[in-house]
Structure 1
Amino acid sequence: MVKGVLPEPGPLRALALATLLSRVGNGLLMTVSVLYFTRIVGLSIAQVGLGLTIAGLFGLLSAVPLGHLADRRGPRGLFVVLSLTVCGLSLVYLFVHTFWQFLVVSIVLTMVDRGAGAVRAALIAAITHGAGRVAARAYLRAVTNIGIMAGAGIGAFALHFDTGTAYRLMFVLDAVLSSIAAFVVLAIPRVAPQPHDDGGPVWIALRDRGYLAVAALNAGMSIHFAVLDVAIPLWVVDHTDAPRWTIALLLIINTVVVSLFQVRSSRGIADPSTAARATRTAGLLLLASMVLLAGATWGNAAIAVGLLAVGALVQVIAELLQSSGSFLLSFDLAPSHAQGQYQGVWNTSMSISTMVAPTVLALLPLGLGVPGWIILGLWFAAVGILSVPVVRWAAARQAAGQAAGQAGDQAGGQAGDQLVGSR
């Protein structure tokens, strides 16, 4: 699926280009948005945080229904419409002057954006197959990191000038890049809608206990993604003798390793069993990483930097394995006719993880210190170990359901033949 720098010609290449363009725009806004709303609009940090938290809660409501709509109407066209809507809504931020305006725009934008994420995953499922699907997601994740880095670099110019005009220009540039990205997606052939069984339940993903259990475990493991952004900066500054530039060093280690090795780490993950074992290994590596990060509180600056760097390296190796396993499980444990709805459930679980993670990190490593790091590491290890039997159970449920469905289809076909024959 992926060779060298570019994927093979086809739908994935168009989606990769669209991803790169849109993620450059994301990097721009990640760099300047908080400063724009606080320094230019005049909102307080507390208001911005509260608004984004409330918007995140509302965002949990949109992924499953919009994913289901992608199944019924086809993901490509819906993704383009939602992407363009996000572009328009991001520009509305330029006309925000009060907290309530900010809150309303944030809620609507987050709901549309979360839904677009589920529809995008359904589109990936439609244009890829088998092990190539994991490689495609890995490639797109590497492209995402590259795009965000590039966007952050461009956004640094706005930070340098620190004017309203410079910040607003970043919002406009984001909208332009993301709009182009949306139209690039039209180069992908149209994906046919999936047929729906009118006699069956509509929200099958919400009734699939095996899939829900695997998604919940993945969400519990994914708390580690916030360690680098939330816990590390405060830990380095308040609890170690490491210089402040160590924070940037750890971020560089993570970003570079993901960009270079995410695709390679996906090799060998070909079915739910191998994905579960990769998740188990990731959990054990995260335990080791948390111990190393905790150990940085002892010793001089050189020892602290060394332990932090090694801990970050071990963590990113775990991240590569867990991400690749997650890619496969989210797709392979879902029926092909309802990928959008199932991806909506998976994305919602990830959104919950993102919302919960700062609180968990504040209570454990930042609140308890070294014991908190150890508890967090043991949590990751336990989730990883538990993933193997839970994934096995979920896969068995899926296979049994498919067998029952095929038996029902065959019985229905035979009954129809008998009816025709009796006539």
Structure 2
Amino acid sequence: MKGLIPEPGPLRPLALATLLSRVGNGLLMTVSVLYFNRIVGLSIAQIGLGLTIAGLFGLLAGIPLGHLADRRGPRTLFVLLGGSVAVLSLAYLLVQTFWQFLAVAIVLTILDRGAGSVRAALIGAVTTGTGRVAARAYLRAITNIGITVGAGVGALALHFDTAAAYRTMFVLDSVLTLSSAFIILAIPRVAPQPKSEDGPVWIALRDRGYLAVAALNAGMSIHYAVLDVAIPLWVVDHTEAPRWTIALLLVVNTIVVSLFQVRSSRGIADPTSAARATRQAGWLLLASMALFAGASGGGVAVAVALLVLGAFVQVIGELLQSSGSFLLSYDLAPNHAQGQYQGVWGTSMSISTMVAPTVLALLPLGLGVPGWIILGVWFAVIGVLFVPVVRWAATRQHQQVTTQAG
């Protein structure tokens, strides 16, 4: 990659498609809850329940649709899923009752989660080796930029606070999502993987090494929710820091990820280096949790300083952990079943996202300073475990490849 624009090749349309779709995501993240609450008339409890149920259904989509990507080719399937999400998302504008909201949310979540696994398989098919890590890192930086831009545009709807303004955001999201799906057609068609006549179909679910690494990664990925879930309430209820500090910490995270995600992926070239990077991330996350906890014990200046420093240390850990995750999700999976394996990895991440709010409510928000320390130790322990577990998983994979070759 040269500068901000990737070199000619599959990554360029992937980057543009990612930017457009994430701008749309940013729009809906900003306005959707308020639209369903203020315009449709659903309660916050109904919205939360509906999204939780839809999320549970979404867990069922990643693995089978990822497997379908292996058998049929990921590019065309991703375009079909992305286009379907774009069109069906407009059904939200017809919602008038909770049950209608639930039905639309379930269908869209299934398609969207499945599309995520297919997209990961597509990236794996058009990149190789360390190029996969660099590509995922670049696309993650693009994702942050797109969501930030989308949130800024969505703020206009919040300013006007009318039904027309909110609905315009849904239509704009649909147009952006549909455009991003068709842009993927610029990538050459990826040939389906040949179907093996021997052995079980769902090999990813039988790969204990891969499942163990995915589970550890999901446990550490709880940290992604810290700034969104725990920090706002911690700042307001337990520190002397002003409320605008919450926004400042989010800005720190967004800027650092956008500028340094690609750079942080350099040097992560194999499972061993990825595991070591994740171990380092665990120690950094422990330090950041301790800094957040310390912010409750000082005045305004001390609280702001510790919170900002904690956010900076956390995002450095986040960069290392995410880069290691990118490599491990691909390198520990056989090439002929990347879609199925990416479905497993994506499902583990979805579970982490669902569990994280409860963990944060029980630990830092429930126990205070001791809860922050327990959470930090959790991240550090997982980081330490990564090295031997990844070594074991890589050895198992090598033995399987050797056996099949023989």
TM-score by length of 2: 1.00
Q: Show the 5 A alignment for 1:121-140.
A: 121-140=120-139
Q: How many angstroms apart in 2 are the aligned matches of 1:358 and 1:14?
A: 34
Give 1:386 deviation, angstroms: 0.2
Give 1:196 deviation, angstroms: 1.2
Q: How many angstroms apart in 1 are the aligned matches of 2:13 and 2:357?
A: 35
Q: How many angstroms apart in 1 are the aligned matches of 2:176 and 2:33?
A: 20
Give 1:164 deviation, angstroms: 0.3
Question: Is contact 2:87–2:178 with CA below 8 Å preserved after alignment?
Answer: no
Q: How many angstroms apart in 2 are the aligned matches of 1:402 and 1:324?
A: 25
Asked if residue 172 in structure 1 is aligned to residue 171 in structure 2, the reply is yes
Q: How many angstroms apart in 1 are the aligned matches of 2:355 and 2:328?
A: 22
Q: Which residue of 2 aligns with 1:348?
A: 347
Q: Which residue of 1 aligns with 2:81?
A: 82
Q: How many angstroms apart in 2 are the aligned matches of 1:193 and 1:68?
A: 11
Cα deviation, 1:328-359, whole Å, max 9, x if unaligned, reads: 00000000000000000000000000000000
Secondary structure at 1:196 match in 2: coil
Q: How many angstroms apart in 2 are the aligned matches of 1:175 and 1:240?
A: 41
Secondary structure at 2:199 match in 1: coil
Give 1:265 deviation, angstroms: 0.2
Q: Which residue of 2 aligns with 1:300?
A: 299
Q: Which residue of 1 aligns with 2:377?
A: 378
Question: Is contact 2:272–2:391 with CA below 8 Å preserved after alignment?
Answer: yes
Q: How many angstroms apart in 1 are the aligned matches of 2:196 and 2:159?
A: 57
Q: How many angstroms apart in 1 are the aligned matches of 2:88 and 2:295?
A: 43
Question: Is contact 2:279–2:383 with CA below 8 Å preserved after alignment?
Answer: yes
Secondary structure at 2:296 match in 1: coil
Q: Which residue of 2 aligns with 1:12?
A: 11
Q: Show the 5 A alignment for 1:205-244.
A: 205-244=204-243
Q: How many angstroms apart in 2 are the aligned matches of 1:135 and 1:14?
A: 15
Q: How many angstroms apart in 2 are the aligned matches of 1:205 and 1:21?
A: 31
Cα deviation, 1:51-91, whole Å, max 9, x if unaligned, reads: 00000001000000000000000000000000011111210
Mean Cα deviation higher: 82-91 or 299-308: 82-91
Q: Which residue of 2 aligns with 1:328?
A: 327
Q: How many angstroms apart in 1 are the aligned matches of 2:229 and 2:259?
A: 24
Cα deviation, 1:83-108, whole Å, max 9, x if unaligned, reads: 01111121000000000000011011
Secondary structure at 2:297 match in 1: coil
Q: Which amino acid aligns with 1:282?
A: A
Give 1:199 deviation, angstroms: 1.7
Q: Which residue of 1 aligns with 2:359?
A: 360
Q: Which residue of 2 aligns with 1:289?
A: 288
Q: Which residue of 2 aligns with 1:35?
A: 34
Q: How many angstroms apart in 2 are the aligned matches of 1:181 and 1:346?
A: 23
Q: How many angstroms apart in 2 are the aligned matches of 1:285 and 1:222?
A: 13
Q: Which residue of 1 aligns with 2:185?
A: 186
Q: How many angstroms apart in 2 are the aligned matches of 1:91 and 1:30?
A: 15
Q: Which residue of 2 aligns with 1:264?
A: 263
Secondary structure at 1:267 match in 2: coil
Give 1:218 deviation, angstroms: 0.1
Please give the root-mean-square deviation of Cα atoms over the aligned residues, in Å.
Answer: 0.4
Structure 2 unaligned spans of 5+: none
Q: How many angstroms apart in 2 are the aligned matches of 1:371 and 1:312?
A: 19
Q: Which residue of 2 aligns with 1:416?
A: none
Q: Which residue of 2 aligns with 1:415?
A: none
Q: How many angstroms apart in 1 are the aligned matches of 2:215 and 2:69?
A: 23
Cα deviation, 1:232-257, whole Å, max 9, x if unaligned, reads: 00000000000000000000000000
Q: How many angstroms apart in 1 are the aligned matches of 2:160 and 2:88?
A: 25
Q: Which residue of 2 aligns with 1:105?
A: 104
Q: Which amino acid aligns with 1:59?
A: G
Q: How many angstroms apart in 1 are the aligned matches of 2:341 and 2:229?
A: 29
Q: How many angstroms apart in 2 are the aligned matches of 1:181 and 1:293?
A: 38
TM-score by length of 1: 0.96
Give 1:189 deviation, angstroms: 0.1
Q: How many angstroms apart in 2 are the aligned matches of 1:140 and 1:393?
A: 29
Q: Which amino acid aligns with 1:277?
A: R
Asked if residue 46 in structure 1 is aligned to residue 45 in structure 2, the reply is yes
Structure 1 unaligned spans of 5+: 408-423
Secondary structure at 1:199 match in 2: coil
Runs (4+) of structure 1 exceeding 4 A deviation are: none
Q: Which residue of 2 aligns with 1:405?
A: 404
Q: Which residue of 2 aligns with 1:59?
A: 58
Which structure has the bigger radius of gyration? 1
Q: Which residue of 2 aligns with 1:275?
A: 274
Q: How many angstroms apart in 1 are the aligned matches of 2:142 and 2:69?
A: 24
Secondary structure at 1:270 match in 2: coil
Q: Which amino acid aligns with 1:8?
A: E
Q: How many angstroms apart in 2 are the aligned matches of 1:342 and 1:89?
A: 27
Give 1:3 deviation, angstroms: 2.1
Give 1:322 deviation, angstroms: 0.2
Q: Which residue of 2 aligns with 1:414?
A: none
Q: How many angstroms apart in 2 are the aligned matches of 1:394 and 1:388?
A: 10
